[in-house]
Structure 1
């Protein structure tokens, strides 16, 4: 795996984050870390799946791949929103997005024991709804592609709606 320099998007924007996939503060989580790529277009994350995330023998569980794509793609959408507003990711008010539609195409089996690289970008204009394409590589082999929609939201309002308080 390539070592990333600097603070991840997650650590910069949401150090108190509790998401199982990418929350910095979730002691049981996977702690996915996303970084701008040097090309300025892609956001990159790397992950080595633990053996407990095995699907078939020697293959990564597809649900883990979907979760990695979901978390990393969401952070890609948020990073693009910050950039569109010419703001740093640690600036306030915080920008939040949620998954509107998660699409995964499994191209090839993903082997266990191989570092995974997620390479994502916003496809088209950054708007309240943004399309993110996320490629998953096991080494140099493309194994899955996410094609998903992320929606910019007010998380306090969203939580109130979810709990029937609005």
Structure 2
């Protein structure tokens, strides 16, 4: 039986070191993404830390982009796992990388407010999948993003990046 209180990140890549979404990063954000009850969206909640202040009283836009990037990537991976009818902790691991990200900053995003990110795959779940993501501060949508995520072959990615196996293994499981 799977512990559903664990996030997608904790289930699929508990040793990952990504600053934004890696459960094992010692000082990172460690975002936690979950399917909503309807199974239509992947949700995440995050309250920005004080060091992510941008304009006085507002969240730094780069943090918002980082949250969209990682949460949308996990959304793409969650949809792939669901399409293959297997849990995120199963092997082989599914990895997706950002192909394109377009962000519209609709309203200022205030500091001191818990943000909710809501993302979903728009269209078919294929090697390249379109993910739409919204950031809400209370009942105000402050950011809308349209992203493209590409399912990656991690062995090929490692070879192209000339990364040693030990480093790549620390990126995933």
Whether TM-score is above 0.5 comes out as yes
Counterpart residue number, 1:133: 132
- Whole-Å separation in 1 of the counterparts to 2:114 and 2:35: 18
Which consecutive unaligned segments of at least 5 residues does structure 1 have? none
Give TM-score scaled by structure 2 length: 0.90
Structure-to-structure mapping, 1:111-150, within 5 angstroms: 111-150=110-149
- Whole-Å separation in 2 of the counterparts to 1:137 and 1:164: 37
Which consecutive unaligned segments of at least 5 residues does structure 2 have? 165-173
Give 1:164 deviation, angstroms.
7.9
- Whole-Å separation in 2 of the counterparts to 1:134 and 1:95: 20
- Whole-Å separation in 2 of the counterparts to 1:103 and 1:42: 19
User: What per-residue deviation string (whole Å, max 9, x for no partner) do you get for residues 29-79 of structure 1?
Assistant: 100100000010100000000111011000000000000000000000000
Counterpart residue number, 2:168: none
Give 1:163 deviation, angstroms.
2.2
Counterpart residue number, 1:53: 52
Matched, 1:62 2:61: yes
Structure-to-structure mapping, 1:19-98, within 5 angstroms: 19-98=18-97
Q: Which stretches of structure 1, 4 residues or more, deviate above 3 A after TM superposition? A: none
SS in 1 for 2:81: helix
- Whole-Å separation in 2 of the counterparts to 1:103 and 1:36: 23
- Whole-Å separation in 1 of the counterparts to 2:51 and 2:93: 34
Q: CA RMSD in A?
A: 1.2
- Whole-Å separation in 2 of the counterparts to 1:81 and 1:33: 18
User: What per-residue deviation string (whole Å, max 9, x for no partner) do you get for residues 88-142 of structure 1?
Assistant: 1111111000000011110000000000000000000000000000000011110
Give TM-score scaled by structure 1 length: 0.94
Counterpart residue number, 2:150: 151
